[in-house]
Structures are given as C-alpha cells and as structure tokens.
Amino acid sequence: MNDNILLVDDDAQAIQVMARLLAKTGQLRFATSGHDAIRLALETVPDLVLLDADMPGMSGYQVFEAMKALPALQDVPVIFVSSHSEAAFEVSAFDMGAVDFIAKPVNPALVQARVRTQLRIKRMADELRRTANTDGLTGIANRRQADDSLGREWLRARRSGHALAALMIDLDHFQMYNDRYGHSAGDACLRKVAQTLVGACLRPGDLVARWGGEEFVLLMPETPRRGAEQVAHRILGAIESLAIAHEVSPIASHVTVSVGVGCYDSQSACWTAGSPDSRFVDFRPPTRAIDLIRAAEKALGVAKGAGRAQARLLDVADADTAQAAHDIMLPQLDVRSVERI
C-alpha cells in the first residue's frame, strides 16, 4: 500500500470508478485538471499516473509533455486513458513515452492487472537506480551519484546565485590501518566514518558520497564558506569522538581525517550573482563544477601537508592557482581548527 497513484481526469465520475477499482492497489490522489495534476505530482512524486488524454484546456498529452520536461517527474510512468480506441491514438501515446494505454469504457480486471504490472516494473527500476547510485560497502551515495548531484547543484548555484560548498574528507594513514588491523576492520571503519559523516549533515539537500577508497565527498548546496567551515569543524570532532583505535598512526592513537573545503559564494572572485552569462573582469575562463572539486582536493592536499587531522579551505576561483599552496608553511593546528588558504 506504499505505492502512490495519481488519477487525472476531468470527469469526477470516471475518477470514482477508477478509485473503486484501485482502492486496494495503493495510495490514491486525484486531479481534475492538468495544472492540478502537475502541482500534486510535484508536491509528492507519484509512482504511477493514470492520465485522461481528452481533458479540456490542458490536454493529457500537454500534461505529459510538461511532466517530462520537469527533472523530478521524468521517470514517473504514465498510463494514458482515453475514449478513443483507434490504433493511431494508442501508437501516439507510446511514441510520446507512455508505458501503457487503456481505452474507455475500462475493463476492471484489465485496469487492475496493468496497474499492478507497471507498479512492479517501477519498483524494479527504482531498485536498479538505487543500486547504481549506492556504494556497496558503506550504503551511502557512490561517486556516480556525487558527480550527477554536483552537476545539477552547480548549474542551480550559478543560475540562482546561491552558494555551494564541497568537502573532501580523507582518512589519515588508512593503509597503515588496514595493514595493522586487516581489511575487515578497515571496512567496518569506513562504514562507521560514512555514517558519522551523514550524521554531520544538518540539511536534507546535503549529500555524502564515497569518492573512492578511503575518501569521501560532502556536497552542501546553499552553504557559504562560513557554514562549510563549521561543518568541517564538526566532522573533525565527530571522527575523533568515535575513538577508533589506530595504534600505528603517526598522528594520534585513534583514527583521524583531513578535510579540504572548496567554496563558491558571494566572496568568490567568479561569483555571478545569479547571472549565468556574466563574464569575469579579469577574463579568466569561466569556472566549472569540476573546479569546485579541484579546489577541495587541493585544500585537502594542503591539510595533509600541514600535518593532517585538520582542514583547509580554498575558493573555487583559485583552483588553478593553488598548486603552490602545497609548499606554503602553515602552523600546526588543533585537530578541530579550520584555516583558510
């Protein structure tokens, strides 16, 4: 009963008929116009839409096209329902991308069977997507999902003028840990660290992903550098509080991490204030999503070079010019400190 089905028809009686047929199939919601259908679908993304093709005003075909133009609704399966039983209408629906077509007057058994089939296919597709985007060891997002999210959030930040921060987190001397305690213990350590990083996120839009090996990335939309610094501070303390023994570490007797922070906000030299067509006064090439990650990676390198178990921050505009930062002599810092470079 967890499946969410949206019934869209301008005929209230037709909706009542379908509701009776599908009452035990899932959670039902109803819309009698195309605009209401899109609004309800965006409020809670449905698992399946049964869409009347012949509505006045905004037709079902127009509703379908509008839904497929919205990223949040692109993967929602749609079954067209129409009083037109001609083959041309059915072919047109399939050509548009509908998953099925039901002719009115509806056959109750046929409607129930086709809806159950499409819901089963949707659950299988969701599981495949989840598996494709999940790290098998830690259960958090994998690099593929992180790359996809980074691209979307970067475009949104550039368009809307919102800040975006990326943290690269690396376990210090993790190879030594594996050599000393074994790979099973290493895997358990990675899982604990991953869940601790998830717990350090305070916003639903934040994403923690395993970047590779013992390295993680944290993407934080609408987070300026000050907020990113605070999160880096919290992560350093949270990992230290785990008190996972690491007897052979040259830094501490427990597991520690180093953190690199890349930031894009109103203090950035390349800040566009919501105008994607802006050009920079110093005529440098426009920054890209990958530059935010490069800034975080370079900042992480500086944190490691400064003694590890600490964090450094680098602006996205300086991703290309920060190579020399590895050679800057920085003072030893407390494990919870954050320094800008």
Q: Locate the domains of the chain by residue range.
A: 4-132, 143-340
ω before 105 within 30° of 0 (cis)? yes
User: Nearest 5°: CA angle at 178, between 175 and 181?
Assistant: 145
Return the pLDDT at 113: 96
What pLDDT does 84 receive? 83
- What is the distance between the alpha carbons of residues 2 and 302, in angstroms, rounded to a whole number? 48
> Would you state the pLDDT for residue 273?
57
Q: Token digits for 54?
A: 């012949």
- Look up the CATH superfamily of 143-340: Reverse transcriptase/Diguanylate cyclase domain (3.30.70.270)
Residues lower than pLDDT 50 in the chain = 275-284, 322-337, 340
Which pLDDT value is given to residue 339?
A: 56
3-state secondary structure string across the chain: CCCEEEEECCCHHHHHHHHHHCCCCCEEEEECCHHHHHHHHHHCCCCEEEEECCCCCCCHHHHHHHHHCCHHHCCCCEEEEECCCCHHHHHHHHHHCCCEEEECCCCHHHHHHHHHHHHHHHHHHHHHHHHHCECCCCCCECHHHHHHHHHHHHHHHHHHCCCEEEEEEEECCHHHHHHHHCHHHHHHHHHHHHHHHHHHCCCCCCEEEEEECCEEEEEEECCCHHHHHHHHHHHHHHHHHHCCECCCCCCCCECCEEEEEEEECCCCCCCCCCCCCCCCCCCCCCCCHHHHHHHHHHHHHHHHHCCCCCEEEEEHHHCCCCHHHHHCCCCCCCCCCEEEC
pLDDT score, position 336: 41
CA distance 199 to 106: 49
4-132 is classed in which CATH architecture?
A: 3-Layer(aba) Sandwich (3.40)
- Per-residue pLDDT at 277: 45
CA atoms within 13 A on the CB side of 270: 23
- Indicate the burial class of 184 (C-beta count within 10 angstroms; 0-12, 13-18, 19 or more): exposed
Do 4-132 and 143-340 come out as alike in CATH topology? no
